[in-house]
Structure 1
């Protein structure tokens, strides 16, 4: 599929750089294969787009700084070694610098929809967890979904993020999704792995139950709970045709991910989180990923950035090797004309 013009971004992409051990495929790292030229990639290649926002975190009374997450995540990923050649596009960033989170969501949605319609696997680099709603707008605005396509949203997170607040924030994205799905005559197929009971009020658990949310708590996701976690992921994959995987880095223990707004006192071991990512990626189902809450100003020795980069790396390397399970052939999406 030829490259097409994508929706404009707020911040143009720049070339990646990193460690270089010499020429040849045996020395490949991510910075060698990422291009800022859409003409250099085709359908099936991964596309990165950043979401420079911590407006949602600010509204949710968290610690700001996640707007710098895309930069730190790119830097941590750039020098990771690739087992085989891939091609990738950096499409640039959407930036919420004026407090207009709703406008940022709309712009991110347009950028993600264009990349999906061009056949790319898309990874959105956040940003606060408000990024998840903008990613969702991209999915629902793309040609990837129709009335018969089952969307599944899997959130790796210590929090449900189902707060009922007067304005959107990093605590509201999945309730926003649920309301949009209800307005469209559907039920949000929402699953959460890693929920921390002390970090979620009874009201949030009741909201989750009312919406039919499936979840595992952090205490059910240890390294000795492999069978339970595997069964949960298998059930999730059986429930959907297209996957929206959203990773809030506060799902990890604070020792692995100190650089987040709300570090986890318990958390899910990175071994378990990576295993889940690999299972999702190996399914071959169309996949949209976003990674949220990396706050470089709170990080220690780049632990959180490195953990996030490893998860993204595992997802993309695994999905590149997986047999693709295509969704039914869909008509070209009809986009409204703009002035």
Structure 2
């Protein structure tokens, strides 16, 4: 865990707003004591959930997207620290591990242009470098018997989440992705649009379900590829659920769970599926926040749920006066998952 920047009690104190008569998550969440081996502490701590931040948007840049998702971690952890510790959800269940140090990689991409072939290759190489760190840390968390909650960053990190979990479990895992896009594109070098296809090709991903695919933004080649692998890769579209009303939201969740619960599965959430949420691929049409929260709660109840990954939110791309709202939304999703998963 050389690239891990541990979250300290001092870090926690800085983001927690103390108030008389109240107990905040920031006063109860666990951090790794100074001088302690993180791996050893992971195994010994009573906390069931381990929060990890990945403050990067390199995979998004490599996928022709707008940068900004690197800012989600700071916003999220500030909001999580100020959630009320009460009978409904307790901060003491959570260990804040810290964040992956991607500062060098972020500096390297500042002057890279994704329209340049050579620069795109460099971007992909940097994503691969981050992949190794993500998969190693997720492996360590899962191997210690804990459930990772990963806050991105781009959806390129789904690859590391899946690989690390599969290696810790000793077999391929499944995944369900709440997303407007498949992220199952061709193997053209790593970026945020092919994390699942790389994990699938390399044998870490067994079954994959995409929930809420937008028909207007899914290529024929991706649809053809999914059709060829429909025994292992399936989807339902947003249009069939919320526009044409051909399918029912709750029933589709049940069908999707039946498909993925045969093995441990990752719960992947892309915030660009929600209207007007600042992200690299912001949309005016999509599921409501309430539907997303119901989705996280529903799948979090499964004993097969192995991790939660929330990505693509970009506070830096939002309104300056309300850029805290993405962090607040992430806080809701984290607690929804924990409440249902208990």
User: Given the two structures, how large is their TM-score scaled by the length of structure 2?
Assistant: 0.80
Q: 2:188 aligns with which of 149, 152, 166?
A: 166
Counterpart check, 1:193 vs 2:211: yes
What residue is the counterpart of 1:29 in the other structure?
24
CA 1:31/1:248 → structure 2, altered by over 3 Å: closer, same or farther? Answer: same
Distance 1:243 1:303, change over 3 A: same
Contact 2:215 2:239 in 1 (8 A): no
Which residue of the partner structure matches residue 228 of structure 1? 248
1:92 — aligned with what? 98
Q: After superposition, give the CA deviation of every residue in 1:133-178 in whole Å (9 maximum; x if it has no partner).
A: 1111211221x244xxx73200011000112142100011111011
Aligned residue for 1:20?
Answer: 18
| Distance in 1, Cα, partners of 2:252 & 2:149 | 23
CA shift at 1:220, angstroms?
A: 3.5
> Contact 2:211 / 2:237 at 8 angstroms: preserved in 1?
yes
| 2:71 is the counterpart of 1:49 | no
Task: Answer yes or no: is 1:252 the counterpart of 2:274.
Answer: yes
- In the TM superposition, residue 68 of structure 1 has moved relative to its aligned partner by 2.1
Deviation at 1:217, TM superposition (A): 1.3
Q: Secondary structure at the match of 2:255?
A: helix
Conservation of the 8 A alpha-carbon contact between 2:185 and 2:222: yes
CA distance in 2 between partners of 1:10 and 1:42 (Å): 18
CA shift for structure 1 position 243 = 1.8
Q: Structure 1 CA distance, aligned partners of 2:4 and 2:45? A: 23
CA distance in 1, matches of 2:249, 2:18: 38
The structure with more helix, counted as a fraction of residues? 2
Shift of 1:312: 1.5
Match of 2:65 among 62, 65, 70: 62
Q: Deviations over 1:203-249 (max 9, x none)?
A: 22222222322212112344996982222222333332312011110
Is contact 1:222-1:269 (8 Å) kept? no
2:331 corresponds to = 309
Matched-pair contact (CA < 8 Å) for 1:13–1:93? yes
- Residue in 2 that maps onto 1:108: 134
- Residues 30 and 47 of structure 2 are in contact (CA less than 8 Å); yes or no, is this contact kept in structure 1? no
- 1:162 match: secondary structure: coil
Which of 85-94 and 8-17 deviates more? 8-17
Rounded Cα–Cα distance in structure 1 between residues aligned with 2:341 and 2:247: 22
Aligned to 2:220: 202
Aligned residue for 1:276, secondary structure, equals: helix
Shift of 1:88: 1.4
The answer to whether the Cα contact below 8 Å between 2:267 and 2:305 also exists between their aligned partners in 1 is no
Does structure 2 conserve the Cα–Cα contact (< 8 Å) formed by 1:152 and 1:236? no
Q: How many Å apart are 1:107 and its aligned residue?
A: 1.0
8 Å CA contact 1:282–1:319 kept in 2: the answer is yes
Q: Tell me whether 305-314 or 130-139 shows the greater mean CA deviation.
A: 305-314
Cα distance in 2, alignment partners of residues 112 and 43 from structure 1: 18
2:111 aligns with none
Q: How does 1:187-336 map to 2 (within 5 A)?
A: 188-212=206-230, 213-222=233-242, 228-239=248-259, 240-254=262-276, 257=277, 259-300=278-319, 301=322, 302-320=324-342
Q: Which runs of 5+ in 2 are unaligned?
A: 33-37, 106-122
- Return the TM-score normalized by structure 1: 0.81
Contact 2:214–2:238 (8 Å) recurs in 1: yes
Alpha-carbon offset, residue 279 of structure 1: 0.8
| Per-residue deviation, 1:287 | 2.0
By how many angstroms is 1:127 displaced?
Answer: 0.3
